[in-house]
Structure 1
Amino acid sequence: MTPSKPLWIKSPLAILADGDASGGIVVSGGKVVELVPAGRSPTLECTAFDASRHVVLPGLINTHHHFYQTLTRAHPAAINKELFDWLTALYPIWAKLGPDGLRLATRLALVELMLSGVTCSSDHHYVFPGGLEDALDIQAEEATALGIRMVLNRGSMNLSKKDGGLPPDSVVQDHDTILADCERVIGKYHDRSEGAMLQVALAPCSPFSVTRELMRDTATLASKCGCALHTHLGETHEEDEFCVSMFGCRPVDYLEDCGWLGDKTWLAHGIHFGDDEIARLGGAGVGVSHCPTSNAVLASGFCRTRDLEAAGVKVGLGVDGSASNDSSNLMEGARHALMLNRLRYDATVTHLDVLRWATEGSARCLGRSDIGAIAAGKQADLALFTLDELRFSGAHDPLAALILCGAHRADRVMIAGKWTVEDGMPVGIDVGRLRHEHGAIAKLFAEAT
């Protein structure tokens, strides 16, 4: 069989890590192999794709999500509540989650993300009611079928309400069961090689849902197996009060005490940190997944992104769960990040900042140097947007227009050199059928008020 020729994506609007490639990008073997200068042709013999209508971005990278929550968007039991009340309302409903529901929730979330330009997503799955022991296997199967990169976060909760935590007994597991499955999932899915499609992170849910012992033992296991660590931290003032009451210290102190203060840790939200805590996080090389939409929906507060970056903290973007965002759209989240950070700081926070967080910054949070930018040798993960809609008419700066005018759907997406979205539709997915099947299962959750 004759190998296919390299693909020359001809575009004057490619956003690159280095060099002038306004003549386009050459992709071969799943990687970017050449950046073509303006007015030049590739040095390789290529098949050409005319992307002159497109703005070509590095594939967006989502650093925090809860796919299963697509089944409980805008649920009447939880709308218009802040975090602890919102969780208390939803935990009993999430206890109904089963394999079929998780499979369809995962498929829908991944398709929705991909349509927004996402080429790699992390998912923090921490709800394990009886019968859902194979949750991470289901997610790995769905990501593989769609051809999208994914970090499987083996989440956990073992501190239930009867022991002083927030979740009910119906959604927690015991310490030994959790760690045994963490080892199983790492052995089966954690690929440390360049261009990995699946990786694993260990992710106890939050200070108010896991024990100190589980936090420490998880850190030890992650170090042994070469995995990253992820958890929610610094999200609300209630969390601060819980940590002081339960553990006798603030969340960052607790993190350090548990052996988590290192460069393989990234945190979701990271809102309520003091100056000294930000300095400690930066000095340790910790990452923060900024989740602007969820932070606004739950009225949690403003993440201090500029201060975090100045201190050396890696900042990426996340959509967070689709019950605290009600969307799985990272390009939309980038626009929200711009607006909220201008309110927190000023107009010098730019569209370039939020696009950097959604690509290079997110890659750094996940410990990946092979994705997050368009450069020779990087993985060929690309998001191509058009400016054809009415919302863009009159826009003069194409890149600024994506954020300021509200781009929300990619026209084409490439992952590892393969098209996964063409003409605004996911390849190989019957969207109408997915919407029907997912909606039918979601109705069961609507009845559990």
Structure 2
Amino acid sequence: VIRPAQDCELFDWLRALYPIWSRLTPEMIRVSTQTAMAELLLSGCTTSSDHLYIYPNGVRLDDTLEAAAEIGMRFHAARGSMSVGESQGGLPPDRVVEREEAILADTLRVVERWHDPARHAMQRIVVAPCSPFSVSRELMREAAVLARAHGVSLHTHLAENEKDIAYTREKFGCTPAQYAEALGWVGPDVWHAHCVELDAEGIALFARTGTGVAHCPGSNMRLASGIAPIRAMRDAGVPVGLAVDGSASNDSGHLLGEARLALLLQRVAHGPVAGPAAMTAREVLEIATLGGARVLGRDDIGALAPGMSADLVSVRLDEIGLAGAGHDPLAALFFCHVPRVTHAVVNGRVVVRDGQLASLDLPRLIERHNALAAQLVSA
């Protein structure tokens, strides 16, 4: 809720935050990673991917991986990057971008150091140049080659709003989906965030190639980006998973709350006739579980079944937010409000017990996070 970024669309929001992000430190990254993961775990999430694309003041992707291991969350860490600053026609200030040679070298380093391809792995690396308006086409191509040579996934932002579309058309002479296809950024090892403005041609391309989409309804509403065509994507066969985006663009990381937004927003998008059937509670559950697993390229998570990772959460049905909803507890998870889960198990490890984090002192974490946030914004 940083004041200059409260009432902005995507590009102005980024311009307001780039200078603040340039002051991030390794401790801020570790503490904020654990704070975000605590909120996710307490709201029913067992697996997360975070797209870190700014590395000032000695920050490394390793900071997030170490933080995730301590708290006990399964983590796909995305080595993001920005290489095209304002002086070259990009959106970010020059001082927050990196040299492309350094980006590729460090990406290879973290893949070799951290990526675990094994079934039930708790940590994997994703290769993730930030967006068409902050990296070169050459970096996108080379990143795709690197990722496929080492068997890791690819991720970026795509078609987030109308300005994003206009930038891609003006700069590259094509739509975002055409841009992705030309650079090798389609396939079952790729997923794109947002895709609010993905057109019919793009939806057909993603369906044909198995390219995934991370749906971020809260962030899309917060930044007035629009409503992603999730119904059309699902009907076409596009893999869709649920995401909360980040605290700067959502101001919440509550997975069940995000699923509720996904459910209701598709109904709003389709109006009073088609809307009620545009998204159901059971469908949004699938998007939040098996959908996310498919987008991440995993067949060992997302369901309670023999041979799958031991991930599960429990919810009390006698909470005030679920009062009177016991006749359909599953639907109640998404139509009603669940403040936090009672228990959570990730890969057999209890990480939430009786509504409290089992691995960290949450009040102490929040206290430190608040102190660092105040320091970051006021500097």
TM-score surpassing 0.5?
yes
| Percent of aligned pairs sharing the same letter | 47
Any conservation in 1 of the 2:83–2:136 contact (CA below 8 Å)?
A: yes
Structure 1 position 274, deviation (Å): 1.5
| Structure 2 runs not aligned, ≥5 long | none
Give the aligned residue type for 1:325. Answer: N
Does residue 399 (structure 1) correspond to residue 330 (structure 2)? The answer is yes
Structure 1 position 268, deviation (Å): 0.3
- Pick aligned residue for 1:176 from 87, 90, 101: 101
Q: 1:437 maps to what in 2?
A: 368
Moved >6 Å (runs of 4+): none
Q: 2:192 maps to what in 1?
A: 267
Q: 1:371 maps to what in 2?
A: 301
Q: 2:55 maps to what in 1?
A: 128
| Greater RCO, 1 or 2 (C-alpha within 8 Å, sep 6+) | 1
* 1:292-311 → structure 2 map (5 Å cutoff): 292-311=217-236
Any conservation in 2 of the 1:294–1:320 contact (CA below 8 Å)?
A: yes
- Pick aligned residue for 2:340 from 398, 409, 424: 409
Structure 1 position 408, deviation (Å): 3.4
Q: 2:41 maps to what in 1?
A: 114
Q: 1:89 maps to what in 2?
A: 16
Does residue 203 (structure 1) correspond to residue 128 (structure 2)? The answer is yes
Give the aligned residue type for 1:309. Answer: R
| Structure 1 runs not aligned, ≥5 long | 1-73
Q: 2:254 maps to what in 1?
A: 329
Which shows bigger deviation, 190-199 or 242-251?
Answer: 242-251
- TM-score, scaled relative to structure 2: 0.97
Q: Measure, in 2, the Cα distance between the counterparts of 1:225 and 1:144.
A: 22
Structure 1 position 169, deviation (Å): 1.5
Does residue 245 (structure 1) correspond to residue 170 (structure 2)? The answer is yes
Q: Measure, in 2, the Cα distance between the counterparts of 1:374 and 1:174.
A: 44
Provide the alpha-carbon RMSD of the alignment.
Answer: 0.9
Does residue 139 (structure 1) correspond to residue 64 (structure 2)? The answer is yes
Does residue 290 (structure 1) correspond to residue 223 (structure 2)? The answer is no
Any conservation in 2 of the 1:129–1:172 contact (CA below 8 Å)?
A: no
Does residue 156 (structure 1) correspond to residue 86 (structure 2)? The answer is no
Any conservation in 2 of the 1:92–1:170 contact (CA below 8 Å)?
A: no
Structure with greater Cα Rg: 1
Q: 1:382 maps to what in 2?
A: 312
* 1:327-366 → structure 2 map (5 Å cutoff): 327-345=252-270, 346-348=275-277, 349-366=279-296
Q: 1:63 maps to what in 2?
A: none
Map Cα deviations across residues 367-405 of structure 1 (whole Å, 9 max, x no partner).
Answer: 000000011111110011111211211112111111111
- Secondary structure (helix, strand or coil) at the match of 1:410 reads coil
Q: Measure, in 1, the Cα distance between the counterparts of 2:172 and 2:339.
A: 42
Q: Measure, in 2, the Cα distance between the counterparts of 1:428 and 1:192.
A: 25
Any conservation in 2 of the 1:129–1:170 contact (CA below 8 Å)?
A: no
Give the aligned residue type for 2:88. Answer: D
Map Cα deviations across residues 237-282 of structure 1 (whole Å, 9 max, x no partner).
Answer: 1011111111111111111111112111001001112212210111
Larger strand proportion of the pair: 1
Q: Measure, in 1, the Cα distance between the counterparts of 2:227 and 2:365.
A: 35
Any conservation in 1 of the 2:23–2:57 contact (CA below 8 Å)?
A: no
Q: Measure, in 1, the Cα distance between the counterparts of 2:294 and 2:58.
A: 35
* 1:219-238 → structure 2 map (5 Å cutoff): 219-238=144-163
Does residue 257 (structure 1) correspond to residue 182 (structure 2)? The answer is yes
Map Cα deviations across residues 323-368 of structure 1 (whole Å, 9 max, x no partner).
Answer: 1100111111001111101111311111111111100000000000
Q: Measure, in 1, the Cα distance between the counterparts of 2:186 and 2:309.
A: 29
Q: 2:237 maps to what in 1?
A: 312
- Secondary structure (helix, strand or coil) at the match of 1:324 reads helix
